[in-house]
Copies of this chain bind each other. A is one copy, B any other.
Amino acid sequence: MQKNKLKNPFKSANHKHKKCLQTALAAAKKHCDAFGLRLTPIRYRVLELVWQNHAPVKAYNILDQLKLAKSSAPPTVYRALDFLKEEGLVHKIESLNAYIGCDNPQEGHKSQFFICDDCGTVAEIADPDIRYLLRKKAHQFGFKIKDEMVEIKGHCQECRGSAE
């Protein structure tokens, strides 16, 4: 059993994300520079809007924000999100139809998400044990994995504090 680098992704998600937002944006720039990709103003702005939460953000919510500065339409947002997804800079949470920033673009963007139903915070982990097990199971019946969605709902430690 390998160790998980993130001890408590919820704890680490807590507050002062002006800092982690800056870090994420800088990382994104670096990533795009490295691969000759264009992190255009729209894409940058969308990424920024996604990162302003550790909770998933909806496409039309982003669109509303964009509209504050300038008339915009759905394709603008979806195109930017597609680009960012492609590069692993954001993930779509399928069970919420919403998007969340990822600070680990290089890692191949296969992650597992733990979503707190109370505060909405999402913790992303990239756990090799889970991935190994899924691959092993798939292999048992000749299934070749191309993509993985693991979204776990529940209650995080902080939110359980008061209730339990």
Residues of A within 8 A of B (CB): 4, 6-11, 94-95, 112, 114, 116-117, 123, 125, 127, 129-130, 133-134, 137-138, 140-157, 160
Partner of A141, one of B7, B133, B138, B147: B7
On chain B, the residues within 8 Å of A116 by CB distance are: 143
On chain B, the residues within 8 Å of A148 by CB distance are: 151-153
Q: Tell whether, in the assembled complex, residue B141 and residue A117 are in contact, meaning their CB atoms are under 8 Å apart.
A: no
Complex formed: what's the CA distance from A81 to B129 in Å? 34
Q: How far is the CB of A39 from chain B (nearest CB, A)?
A: 27
Q: How many copies does the complex hold?
A: 2
Partner of A145, one of B9, B11, B134, B153: B153
Partner of A143, one of B7, B149, B155: B155
Of all A-B residue pairs in the complex, the 9 with the closest CB atoms, nearest first, are: A142-B157, A8-B141, A147-B153, A94-B95, A149-B151, A145-B154, A146-B154, A94-B94, A144-B155
Report the nearest B residue to A12, measured CB to CB: B141
On chain B, the residues within 8 Å of A156 by CB distance are: 141-143
